[in-house]
Amino acid sequence: MKRSALLLGVALIALGFTSCKDEKEVQAKKTVETYVVYVDSLENVSTEDAQTNWESIDAVYQLRVSEAETALGNLKESAKEQDDINASRAKYEALKAKIQAANATANPVVNSKQKLRNTLFGDGKMGEDMSFTWVNKDNILSVYEAFFQSYKDNKENFSREDYDEIKMMYEGLDSRKNTVENEGLSSDDNAKIASIKLKFGPMFKINRMGAKSEEMAKAKE
């Protein structure tokens, strides 16, 4: 009688272990499925909404994928679930690349030299070729005026490299002025430009020397 009771107890314990293990397997499969369903649901989110809410989307994704990968440890045979996770990961990475590309288009990265050109001449006026073809006899005075004013407003923030770049841009503008003079630049505008150049030249020379000296001093520290 005692032996029968003992065998029954062992059987019940074994059944309990089996039941617990089966529950873990079922829960593990549900966890992986939840991850897969989440990634699939992102296909229904518009690019605009995904861009706006990307931090939240990615935070949930990282939680879901972490849970799914942990769940694999509770599966006897996890090949199918592993394939499902890999497929969903590939889907997510494709979506991430799409959103990053959309962000890059909407907010293009502007390098330091282009920022400097935009500061001195206006956004998008001049690119890497530093062409001044957009400057003509009718607007060249305003270009010089805007350039000089922007320079004075920002000269304390320019680095030594910035001053080298400004020198090239200024020389390019002067070269364009020589062309514009032959296209009918008025004597009045020419005189005003000469006045700006007279003020700018010495100021720029002193500021540039100061930037170089400051850079050398920092290098010695």
pLDDT of 10 strictly over 90: no
CA 212 – CA 78 distance, rounded (Å): 64
**Would the pTM of this model clear 0.75, i.e. be above it?**
no
**Three-state secondary structure call for residue 152:** helix
Tens digit of each residue's pLDDT (9 = 90 or more) over 65-113: 999 889 888 888 878 889 998 999 999 999 999 988 888 776 665 678 8
- Please list, in sequence order, all residues whose beta carbon lies within 8 angstroms of the beta carbon of residue 170, skipping any fewer than 6 positions away: 147, 200, 204
The secondary structure of residue 1, as a DSSP letter, is -
